[in-house]
Structure 1
Amino acid sequence: MSLVQGYSSDEDDGPLSPTTDAFGLSSLPASKKRYLFNIADRTRQAANKQFFQDPLQQSSLITRPTDTQMNVNISYDDMMLPVQGPENPFGDRNRFMNQNALAGHVEEQAMTEHAFRQQHLTHAILGYSANPSVDPNAPAILGSLDKAQEHGFQTIGSVKVPKNTKNELKRKRKAKGDLEIVDGEGAYEGPWATWQGDEPTAEVEEAMDEPEPESEEEPEQEFQPRKAKPKRGAPGLESSVFHGKSMHDYQGRTYMHPPLSEAPQLQHEPGSQECFIPKVCIHTWTGHTQGVSVLRTFPNTGHLLLSGSMDTKIKLWDIYTHGNCLRTFHGHMKAVKDVTFSNDGRRFLSCGYDRQMKLWDTETGQCIKRFSNGKIPYVVRFHPDEDKQNIFLAGMSDKKIIQYDMNSGEITQEYDQHLGPVNTITFVDENRRFVTTSDDKTIRAWDFDIPSSSSTSPSRTCTRCPLSHCTRALGGPLTSTEKYFAAQSLDNQILVYSTDNFRQARNKRFAGHSVAGYACQVGFSPDGKWISSGDGEGNVVFWEWKTGRIKSRLRAHNKVVIAHEWLPHETSKVVTGSWDGLIKLWD
């Protein structure tokens, strides 16, 4: 094909083109040159014919990914055809003439509150309003067109009252009257003057003068407001719920009888066994919906557990048999602060933030008596003597300790030397004295039934706590020797005092726990070997009584361990109660 680049078909019989010299043809004879040019011309015509004609008569372009040449010329009409595919249902061609959206005619308009108000009042009063649509085909006025033309298409705020109408209204208005005349004809009425035509007719005046006939209907009953239903646990509405299947067993015994068959050690003397530090949780009681505030075991045997909670409920739990809840006492309307058993355990006292103190029957669940002086009781204690089981003491929020006689229900004595609310009461010295703690940062010792602190009565005041911190919990006295009692101080230490002279034992100090802000209970093991306390981080800390060293720190709860009790006949069992609402038994 390179031989014909300088060839022209018009030069077959004429002279050669000068470009032939570039291909080396100038030296050939003329006959051979003519022969070669004829062959090249035929080849070019065949190539042009093959390029412009499609032997397969194809109407569309068919190619493969590997093809590098296009063998078919597509016509211009075919290239300008619209894109084939499904019809767009949201296209403009399918809409009506008055639609600018698929759902209809949509316009974006903004109007001030004043303009809307004017148009709304105009339509409501005059019967027409301007059409807010910008559609040129829409009418300009909505409503009565005649009314609009009559008022010149004005809004209600632009329409003016004709002068004739104004003058007619002014003529109907009566005179204001004379300021000097108070009553009668021509009296001053000012802006309260009436209009002509507004006077009541004679019929109306007669109807107004006639007395009203007495109705034969029965008089309406006076509305009596519905009294709110008293809450459960209110004074006089105390109740209890027994959770077992049967109150008595096959021998006719209730849960008050100790389970000697399951726990024969209950017959032994408390503290006769050697005690060890618990390590593992063996049972969990879940029944309180809020934090537990106090725990008390059944006297002597300890086979029952009494718990008071911030959910206003008091629950009695079984420890040795099935470990379930035996009875729930509903008697307080606010959180329970303290509970305490009598010596025989058949009765117990409870107090709460509802300013009530109540005496309960442990077996039947009946509320026997109620006591209150209008103040919040923080602690209640029975007198430990057998002949004084009708007497109990209560530490109040008004800085006093009140002594009640349950037989008469009256206050027989008051102790009022504290300068702050009383937190705890502990009997010492063979129950002849009792020790109290208060928010006034002092511990005071009292002779029972002698209220004053004069020189003739040996009422004593213990030394202040170190760092002037408040003492909110007492432990003891220590059951083995009865010579000491422990005081939980809010400066994160437990101090020990003598029950003889009420002096602090300087060689006994237990620290290493964090109780600042919490009244965590202090406890002694039955044999007096260990002293224990909960802390604000959910731990129970155990110290050795002789050395004062921490022997164990048991992670018990997620919140503060506010109360715990050693079981009197066990070697290493402790019950803990926390503000997380759980009660756990550890061994």
Structure 2
Amino acid sequence: MASLLGAQYESSSDDDAGSAPIRSNPAPAIVAAPDVPVEGSSQLHLMLRKPTDTALTYNATYDDLTRPQAGPANPFKSGNSMSGIKRKNVLTGYAEEAAISEATFITQQRTFQSLGYTKDPSQPGAFVGDMEQVARYEGKDVVQMRPSKEESAAIRRKRQKKGDSSIVEGEGAYLGPWAKYEDDELAGREADALAELGSDEEYIEESIVPSNIPAMDKKATAYQDDLSRTETTEFHGTEERDYQGRTYMHVPQDLDIDLKKEPGSAKNFIPKKLVHTWKSHTKPITSLRFFPGSGHLLLSSSADSKVKLWDVYHSRELLRTYSGHSNSISDTTFDPTGATFLSASYDRQIKLWDAEYGKCIQRFTTGKTPHVVRFNPDPANSHEFLAGMSDKKIVQFDIRTAAITQEYDHHLDAVNTLTFVDNNRRFISTSDDKSLRAWEYNIPVPIKFIAEPHLYALVRAAPHPNGKYVAFQSGDNSIVVYGATDKFRQNRKKLFRGHNNAGYAIDVAISPDGQFVTSGDSGGYVCFWDWKTGKMWHKIKAGGKEGSAVTCVDWHPRETSKVATAGLEGVIKYWD
């Protein structure tokens, strides 16, 4: 601006006035206060067309700049055109609060379940549900329909006497709560009351619901036991007997390895290649068991409710199929001689089979699901076995009488593993209650209880050949080791990691010489660790499909590097 003025008016001095040059073009007039149109408040919103604008194109008054911007009218605010609408207190509208006691609510709920109607809490005297039933019972609830004390006393007088508890049979024998009514109709009314109200005995003693109330369908609570007695077997081998009349139970002598030598006498090595595959099961494999001692046979069970026996040497063929369960098999175990074996299933049955001829010798059940079964390895008690059940109990059976000889009831959840230790005089059990308990055989009181805060559920177990330790598959992707002697302490120096077992019950196995620890993996691998150092030696991809977990692993008791694996594929693989 200074340069512009200097160009038009070079000097204001009187001395220099005569020498100033005169321009031919007159300078334009400068207006110091131009006229600014004043728009209304509506113009203000029109001028701010973009939310990002920071300047106005006209002069706004202070009142316009400081005036609050009016938003939409609140339809729920009193004083407007929608003042009749109540304010929302829930997402879907307005809900009126009502106070009702718990006893009243339970009474109305049971009335609706039994009779099909209940009172409408929003409208006094109104009902919701079956109006025909309302008219039939005059709108009474189950409490109002109770008989009077006089009627209840008359009903009780017609009941048989409970009897003397010291008398077992005959006149005056103890009947207790099984005492019947002299009138069959009253007995039916009691049954209806038990079914409808589902209350305790004292309440039923004082209140009997009329017999015209419909009873609950008894199929809803009926217990269906597996009463199947149709066990079958099928021989699949080329010939049942050899040229000397011996069956497959005979330990072969024509091999380059002595199957009768002492177990663990040979040094073991890690297998590296697949040598054979057995296919017959149609669902995931649940257990693998080599024949005790020689290992010339392999027993497998599956979720297809079948147990199969395979030949490990010679033709390596399927020898026999045992069929007798109606649901998935949870575990199998040979007796110490191998002549018989047990199969436990989710059909709540435990069955004893003849391994040679396939006959079902005995059946055992407690009405609960057996998760693990183990024969007692002691020759003096080989006729007994333990079963870990889903109802937290460990049950001891005698196969000669099928009777329960002992119960070990201290766990708080389903039993997962049973392992005999200390020359078979004791055994260790683990459970889903994340605890470990040690027991003296035949004594139902644990001698050791371990339940530390950092423990996870121990789902599978394997004893070390030296008899001093037991390895457990832990739910935190690790294998932990506990002592099998008097202390039963965890050996914190031996911890095996590097595999993934979360969500699966994966077997853990130890080589016959005690040098290697083996486990499956949920990703389809078989992992091998060194027992002394705890370092992982090798991993083998044993699952064919991606994510096909390997859940069953077992070392051959006589070979140096033979391992059998199986899993969700339903295929058994033999490694060397």
TM-score (structure 1 length as normaliser): 0.58
What SS is found at the alignment partner of 1:266? coil
CA contact (8 A) 1:423 1:472 kept: yes
Do residues 460 (structure 1) and 448 (structure 2) align? yes
CA contact (8 A) 1:467 1:491 kept: no
The answer for the alignment partner of 1:555 in structure 2 is: 541
The answer for the alignment partner of 2:507 in structure 1 is: 521
Query: In structure 2, what is the Cα distance between the partners aligned to 1:513 and 1:467?
Result: 19
The answer for the alignment partner of 2:460 in structure 1 is: 473
Amino acid at match of 2:549: V
Task: Mark the runs of 5 or more structure 2 residues left unpaired by the alignment.
Answer: 1-225
**1:103-114 superposed matches below 5 A:** none
Query: In structure 2, what is the Cα distance between the partners aligned to 1:359 and 1:492?
Result: 34
Q: CA deviation at 1:463?
A: 4.1
Q: CA deviation at 1:247?
A: 1.2
Q: CA deviation at 1:467?
A: 3.3
Do residues 534 (structure 1) and 525 (structure 2) align? no
The answer for the alignment partner of 2:332 in structure 1 is: 339
Superposed CA deviations along residues 372-422 of structure 1, whole A, max 9, x for unmatched, are 110000011111111211101000000000001111111111001100000
Superposed CA deviations along residues 459-516 of structure 1, whole A, max 9, x for unmatched, are 211243x63421111111x11x211111110101111111111001111111111001
The answer for the alignment partner of 2:388 in structure 1 is: 395
Query: In structure 2, what is the Cα distance between the partners aligned to 1:440 and 1:490?
Result: 12
Stretches of 4+ moved more than 4 A in 1?
none
The answer for the alignment partner of 2:556 in structure 1 is: 567
Q: CA deviation at 1:244?
A: 1.8
Q: CA deviation at 1:234?
A: 6.3
Query: In structure 1, what is the Cα distance between the partners aligned to 2:454 and 2:501?
Result: 15
Do residues 305 (structure 1) and 298 (structure 2) align? yes
The answer for the alignment partner of 1:105 in structure 2 is: none
Q: After superposing the two structures, state which structure 1 stretch, 566-575 or 254-263, moved more.
A: 254-263
Superposed CA deviations along residues 215-274 of structure 1, whole A, max 9, x for unmatched, are xxxxxxxxxxxxxxxxxx962110100012321110111000011103432132111111
Across the aligned residues of Structure 1 and Structure 2, the Cα RMSD in angstroms comes to 1.2
The answer for the alignment partner of 1:368 in structure 2 is: 361
CA contact (8 A) 2:260 2:293 kept: no
Q: How many residues of Structure 1 are paired with residues of Structure 2 in the alignment? A: 347
**1:110-259 superposed matches below 5 A:** 235-259=228-252
Query: In structure 2, what is the Cα distance between the partners aligned to 1:287 and 1:262?
Result: 26
Q: CA deviation at 1:568?
A: 1.1
TM-score (structure 2 length as normaliser): 0.59
Amino acid at match of 1:526: P
The answer for the alignment partner of 1:499 in structure 2 is: 484
CA contact (8 A) 2:268 2:560 kept: yes
CA contact (8 A) 1:463 1:503 kept: no
Amino acid at match of 1:572: S
Query: In structure 2, what is the Cα distance between the partners aligned to 1:263 and 1:384?
Result: 29
Query: In structure 2, what is the Cα distance between the partners aligned to 1:414 and 1:268?
Result: 37
Query: In structure 1, what is the Cα distance between the partners aligned to 2:328 and 2:556?
Result: 26
The one of 328, 333, 355 equivalent to 2:321 is: 328
What SS is found at the alignment partner of 2:313? coil
Query: In structure 2, what is the Cα distance between the partners aligned to 1:482 and 1:401?
Result: 22
Larger-gyration structure (1/2): 1
Amino acid at match of 2:272: K
Amino acid at match of 1:517: G
CA contact (8 A) 1:234 1:331 kept: no
Query: In structure 2, what is the Cα distance between the partners aligned to 1:321 and 1:263?
Result: 12
Task: Mark the runs of 5 or more structure 1 residues left unpaired by the alignment.
Answer: 1-232, 454-458
CA contact (8 A) 1:347 1:361 kept: yes
Q: CA deviation at 1:331?
A: 1.1
Query: In structure 2, what is the Cα distance between the partners aligned to 1:339 and 1:487?
Result: 18
Amino acid at match of 2:311: D
Q: CA deviation at 1:292?
A: 0.2
**What is the aligned-residue identity percentage?**
51
Query: In structure 2, what is the Cα distance between the partners aligned to 1:494 and 1:428?
Result: 18
The one of 550, 561, 570 equivalent to 1:581 is: 570
Superposed CA deviations along residues 336-394 of structure 1, whole A, max 9, x for unmatched, are 10000011100000010000000000000000010111000001111111121110100
CA contact (8 A) 2:462 2:509 kept: yes
Q: CA deviation at 1:579?
A: 1.0
CA contact (8 A) 1:470 1:490 kept: yes
What SS is found at the alignment partner of 2:424? coil
